Each structure stands twice: as structure tokens, then as C-alpha cells.
Amino acid sequence: MTALRVEGLYKVFGRRPEEAVARLRAGATADEVRATGATPAVIDASFAVQPGEIFVVMGLSGSGKSTLLRMLNGLLEPTAGSVFAGEEQITGLDDKRLREVRQRRMSMVFQHFALLPHRSVAENAGYALEVRGVDRRTRLAAAREALAMVGLEGEADRRPDELSGGMQQRVGLARALASEAEILLMDEAFSALDPLIRREMQDQLLDLQRRLGRTIVFITHDLNEAMRLGDRVAIMRSGRIVRTGTPEDILADPGDDYVARFLADVDRSRVYTAADVMTDADTVVHADDSPSAVLAALGVHGDTSALVVDDRGGLTGVVTEGDLRDAGRPGGAGTIAAHVRPPAARVAATDPLADLLGPVGTSDLPVVVVDDEGHPSGVVHPGAVLAALAGAPAEEADGRPAGVPVDAVPVDAVPAPERIDERPELAGGPRG
């Protein structure tokens, strides 16, 4: 089941909005409609957000992001289309039920978060529960727990004006977390923060998300932030969603020039991960194998180094063809044990390329991707890293670019935005 579903959503401000929607549906451009005195802010938006997913909506100022977000929790009534939270249709609910939905199911975090100046940090964090009529003890306990999650446990009894801007923003996040709403709507929640604190907040959000698994719709006009946080990213332009996909999908295939121009500024080393550029390790051997057997295996696979694993399959190191040959008696007896060296680095599949650049650039030995149990799942070649950074992910053996899911839609198969609801990637779940 989807956590949040939006179908054919429109918001038109100004004169005769319904008429404007009819014109847009009949093929009128936004400019033509604007000439009649109406302002189309959101045009035919459709998408589905899976439980536990961070869905980022990104676009320039005025592209309709806030308008879209405010329709999700009923703060704004759509001109046409519908919104579902789980099974419940949000559009058309009466005010009382809408308030309940906002208090219990969907919590919103704004850019300039208004804290109540005369209440303590803990009371502010528990405010959503207070509005809901939860008793003081319960809500302060929940507030303290949420403050601990955002690293503010020591500040519970202070006043908001004693906190820095970044800390105040974290109180806002704590308030949303304490509300226990399963859906968090975050509108430019980090945009007012300076870059270092902003990055810290992004890390914290990713960390919280891994632990709590809330569903998050996150709005930003910063593409690097979008790429960093989003399981999937929807790009808005002049009211329309023009591209939806995982960050890797979008980087590999922007879909149109507008999106491609955005991507020029993206720090690819933080979007692509080791998993996107790794290739299978073909030659995997044991320390008690003989040099001749290992050299033969390297020859078969055309590799210059082999991964050495123990009996449980855990990585113990690497051996290179050069070391084995230099040792002389390449055809001789004995084992390779004396030639096993540590790899250039052990990395996790989720590590960003930025963390791989050092070892890849300074060592001739392989960088090995290992899983939680220490089993090798692949190796990273410098060429694949450079290709990904250059915007042309290396072709893998099966002919698809690294980092693009097998089911990714080729560019010429992407339908016009009007039919965005039929695009299969919209129904996709969060990444691994």
C-alpha cells in the first residue's frame, strides 16, 4: 500500500479556476491560461509515495512546490484531482477531520519554524501533542525522547531564544517526530541554515529515517540536497512535474534539457555510491591456494588481482599478479599466504564516491566493497569512478550503464508529463 497518493492534482489561483483546469486539460499552455487572469500553480501532478520513503520535490522558486505540499494535508483545497493518505481520501474531508489528519497523520515542518517564545524547548517539542489534548506528562516524555533523537536532550528546559537557528530548526523537527505522525511534510525545512549545519541536519534526517521509517515529502530548491536526501526526486517546472526518479536515474538520464541544466551543478561524488560503480569480483581465492592456481584463475578472468577470502567467505585481503610473478617459481608449490595484502580500502555499498576517491587515486590495489558480514560484493575500478563523475557511468558487462536499474525507462519511452501517472517508476518503492 502506498503512504501517499496524488492523482491529477491541479491548483489554479485567480479568476475562474475550474475553467482554467478545463483549458489546461484540453491542451492549453500555462501561459495561455495566465493570459486569462488565472495562475496555474500546480498542473496535473500525479505520484505515489511508498511507506518509509523520502520523496523530494525540487524546483525553482515559484514552480509550485509549496502549493503542492499544502494540498497534501488539506491546508489548500485542490482545484481538481485527489490526494489519498493510505486509504483515506484527503480531498473533500470536512474541516474537523482535516484538523485531525494534520494533528495525527501528517506533520509539517516549515523553513522558518515558529517556536513559542515563552515556552521551554520541551514544551515546544510537545506542542503537537498538546493541541491534540494529550496530558502533560505523556507529552513531555514524548518531547524529551524526540529532542534526544535530534541531539537536543540537554536543552529541554531552555527557552527558544537561547538556541541557535540550527538548534531551533531541530526543535521543529523534534515537534514533528513527537507528533508520531506517519507522514512528515517538510517545506524548505533546512534552507535557512548555514551549509555546515544544513549538512548535519541532512545527516540527522537520514539517520532518523533509517531508524524510524517515517514517510517524508521533502521540498527543496537545492538539487544537491534533493539528490542527497531523496529515495526518489520529482522535479517541478512551472507547475508541472517534469521528471521523477531515483537520484541515480535522473543523473544518468535527465530526460530533458531543463533537468540536464540543473544537473550541471550537482556534486556527483555525493550522489553515486560504491554500489553504482562496482563490478563483480571475478577472481576470488583462498590463502591456501597455490600461486599457480591463482595465476591461472587470473588469466582466465583477465584480472590483475584476486580477492582472498577465508572459509566463511569473509575478505582477508588481495593478491596481485605482479607479486605472485615477482616471487618467482610461479608454477611452484606452496601457497599465496605470504603475498596477501590489505586492499586499497574496504568500503560499504552505500558509501558515496567522495569517500572512494582517496583510495582509488592513491593505490593500485583494488577497492573492495564488503557487506555487513565482511563478504566482498564487488570491486571498484578507477575508470568506473571517473566515468560516473564525468556523467557517463561505465557500461557494465550486460550493456546497461552502472547505476541505472534494469527496469529504468529509456529516454524515448518517457511519456509526456500529462501522462506522468502511467510512468512505471512512479509506482516504485524506496531504494534498498
Ligand X SMILES: Nc1ncnc2c1ncn2[C@@H]1O[C@H](COP(=O)(O)OP(=O)(O)OP(=O)(O)O)[C@@H](O)[C@H]1O
Q: Which residues pair with 38 in a beta bridge?
A: 14
Backbone φ and ψ for 48, nearest 5 degrees, come out as -130, 135
221 touching ligand X, by CB under 6 A: yes
Query: Of ligand X, Mg ion, none, which one sits near residue 61, judging by CB under 5 to 8 A according to partner kind?
Result: ligand X
Question: Can you list the alpha helix ranges (DSSP code H) found in 105-242?
Answer: 121-125, 127-131, 136-149, 165-178, 195-212, 223-229
Among 21-29, 57-65, 310-318, 401-409, the segment contacting ligand X (CB under 6 A): 57-65
Query: Of ligand X, Mg ion, none, which one sits near residue 403, judging by CB under 5 to 8 A according to partner kind?
Result: none
65 touching ligand X, by CB under 6 A: yes
Distance, in Å, from the CA atom of 296 to the CA atom of 307, rounded to the nearest integer, reads: 14
All three cell numbers of 13: 489561483
222 touching ligand X, by CB under 6 A: no
- Closer residue to ligand X in complex, CB, 21/345: 21
Query: Of ligand X, Mg ion, none, which one sits near residue 2, judging by CB under 5 to 8 A according to partner kind?
Result: none
Query: Of Mg ion, ligand X, none, which one sits near residue 39, judging by CB under 5 to 8 A according to partner kind?
Result: ligand X
Helix (H) or strand (E) holding 45: strand 38-49
Among 15-23, 55-63, 172-180, 226-234, the segment contacting ligand X (CB under 6 A): 55-63
Sign for the CA dihedral angle at 21, 23, 26, 27 comes to negative
Backbone φ and ψ for 90, nearest 5 degrees, come out as -80, -40
To ligand X, the closest distance from the beta carbon of 9 in angstroms equals 12
Query: Of Mg ion, ligand X, none, which one sits near residue 62, judging by CB under 5 to 8 A according to partner kind?
Result: ligand X
All three cell numbers of 243: 521528471
Query: Of ligand X, Mg ion, none, which one sits near residue 226, judging by CB under 5 to 8 A according to partner kind?
Result: none
73 touching ligand X, by CB under 6 A: no
Measured at CB, which residue is nearest to Mg ion? 66
Distance, in Å, from the CA atom of 389 to the CA atom of 399, rounded to the nearest integer, reads: 19
Closest CA to 224 of 265, 175, 272, 166: 265
Q: Using the rule CB under 6 A, which residue among 52, 62, 166, 330 binds ligand X?
A: 62
Number of amino acids touching ligand X (CB under 6 A): 12
- Closer residue to ligand X in complex, CB, 64/254: 64
41 touching ligand X, by CB under 6 A: yes
- Closer residue to ligand X in complex, CB, 110/127: 110
To Mg ion, the closest distance from the beta carbon of 237 in angstroms equals 14
Query: Of Mg ion, ligand X, none, which one sits near residue 3, judging by CB under 5 to 8 A according to partner kind?
Result: none
66 touching Mg ion, by CB under 5 A: yes
- Closer residue to Mg ion in complex, CB, 139/237: 237
67 touching ligand X, by CB under 6 A: yes
Site map (CB under 6 A) of ligand X, residues 378-417, x = contact: ----------------------------------------
What is the 3-class SS of 270-332, one letter each residue?
A: HHCEHHHHEECCCCEEECCCCHHHHHHHHHHHCCCEEEEECCCCCEEEEEEHHHHHHCCCCCC
Among 60-68, 92-100, 307-315, 381-389, the segment contacting ligand X (CB under 6 A): 60-68
Exposed, middle or buried by CB within 10 Å (0-12, 13-18, 19+), for 329?
A: exposed
To ligand X, the closest distance from the beta carbon of 259 in angstroms equals 16
Query: Of Mg ion, ligand X, none, which one sits near residue 67, judging by CB under 5 to 8 A according to partner kind?
Result: ligand X
Backbone φ and ψ for 43, nearest 5 degrees, come out as -125, 110
Helix (H) or strand (E) holding 264: none
DSSP 85-114: ETTEE-TT--HHHHHHHHHHTEEEE-SS--
To ligand X, the closest distance from the beta carbon of 221 in angstroms equals 5
Closest CA to 366 of 328, 340, 337: 340
Distance, in Å, from the CA atom of 105 to the CA atom of 101, rounded to the nearest integer, reads: 5
Q: Using the rule CB under 6 A, which residue among 63, 79, 169, 305 binds ligand X?
A: 63
Site map (CB under 6 A) of ligand X, residues 266-305, x = contact: ----------------------------------------
Amino acid at 341: R
- Interacting residue ranges for Mg ion, rule: CB under 5 A: 66
- Interacting residue ranges for ligand X, rule: CB under 6 A: 13, 39, 41, 59, 61-67, 221
